[in-house]
Amino acid sequence: MNPQQTDDQPLLDIADLTVSYRAKGRRKPPNRVLDKVSLTIRPGETLGLVGESGSGKTTIGRAVLGLAPVESGTITFQGDPIEHATRRRRRELSRDLQVIFQDPYTSLNPSLTVGDTLTEPLIAQGHTAREARTKVGALLERVRLPADAAGRLPREFSGGQRQRVAIARALALRPKLVVCDEPVSALDLTTQRTVLDLLLELQEQTGVSYLFISHDLPVVRYMSHRVAVIHHGLIVETGDADQVTARPEHPYTRDLMLAAPVADVGEQRRRREARQARAARQEAQSRQDAVALP
């Protein structure tokens, strides 16, 4: 994608973030999920955060949203530290900091109509019911859903349409930053592309920033200005999206690139063989290191 102009001042600044969870059993040490992670996101920018399952990428998003315990480090949003924000402060932050979750089937309340889902945050922020209804109509048009969608329940929509509702809810208050946590992984490939294009279009229209979390390197490349690669709770590579996804320097990033599916059968076979050869070399090296130990 062609990055738009962004300010130099970070919108979000994460510095030396460490998150640990208590392990089962009294004598076991805490499980460290993130280890001194540092990231920045500028206004109007998309930072892609990519890593395999269990790498800690979702925990970063949860920490930004106040849903994961911060052991140490700082999270600064618009110049204000928020890593230990109170519930009241979190409610205030919801105007500028929103989230799109992975599963459009569980992220929406099944008993609320789409209109009620979208008017709820607007009324909570002080809009009248009439103002909220007017804004809901504009939101539905923006995410390309029919006006009568406001009176329908989530179960009446497809997965892609439900994710459009979730996007509309996230953008209802015109936030500065949206945490996108695997927002298309539960969708089929055709619908994925449609939703990704919608997110890019809305970014161009509103200037919103995205923390885009995914395990899929091609999707991250398509969406992001910059990319950060996380492995076992450590950031192992960061840089311009084209550079990181086309000419990766870290072995783990190269493994992610080799694991990404491609349409060409021959290229897919070559990548699979290269990945297997790399794994065999790593296994052989581990055995040599084990033998060398006294």
Q: 178 and 168, same structural domain?
A: no
CA 210 to chain centre: 7
What pLDDT sits at residue 170? 94
164 falls within a domain: yes
103 falls within a domain: no
Q: Which long-range contacts (CB under 8 A, 24 or more apart) does 146-151 make?
A: 149/114, 150/113, 150/114, 150/115, 150/118, 151/113, 151/114, 151/115
What pLDDT sits at residue 257? 81
Domain boundary at 226, 245, 264, which?
245
- CATH of residue 76: 3.40.50.300
CB neighbour burial string for 140-174, b if at least 16 within 10 angstroms, e if fewer: bebbebeeebbebebeebebbbbbbbbbbbbbbbe
Distance between CA atoms of 137 and 139, rounded to whole angstroms?
5
9 falls within a domain: yes
What pLDDT sits at residue 264? 47
Which residue range is the domain that position 152 belongs to? Answer: 111-172
Q: 92 and 7, same structural domain?
A: yes
Distance between CA atoms of 179 and 209, rounded to whole angstroms?
9
226 falls within a domain: yes
Is the CB of residue 189 less than 8 Å from the CB of residue 223? Answer: no
Q: Quote the strand ranges of the chain, DSSP E.
A: 12-21, 31-41, 46-50, 72-77, 80-81, 97-100, 177-181, 209-214, 226-231, 234-240
Q: 196 and 141, same structural domain?
A: no
Please list the residues that pair with 19 across neighbouring strands: 34
Q: 213 and 156, same structural domain?
A: no
Distance between CA atoms of 210 and 170, rounded to whole angstroms?
11
What pLDDT sits at residue 266? 56
What pLDDT sits at residue 28? 79
The tens place of each residue's pLDDT in the chain, 294 residues long, gives: 434 444 568 999 999 999 999 877 777 788 899 999 999 999 999 999 999 999 999 999 999 999 999 999 999 999 999 999 999 999 899 999 999 998 888 889 999 999 999 999 899 888 898 899 899 999 999 999 988 999 999 999 999 999 999 999 999 999 999 999 999 988 888 899 999 999 999 999 999 999 999 999 889 999 999 999 999 999 999 999 999 988 998 998 988 887 765 544 455 455 556 556 655 665 565 556 555 555
Question: How many domains are there within the chain?
Answer: 2
| Helix (H/G/I), strand (E/B), else coil: 128 | coil
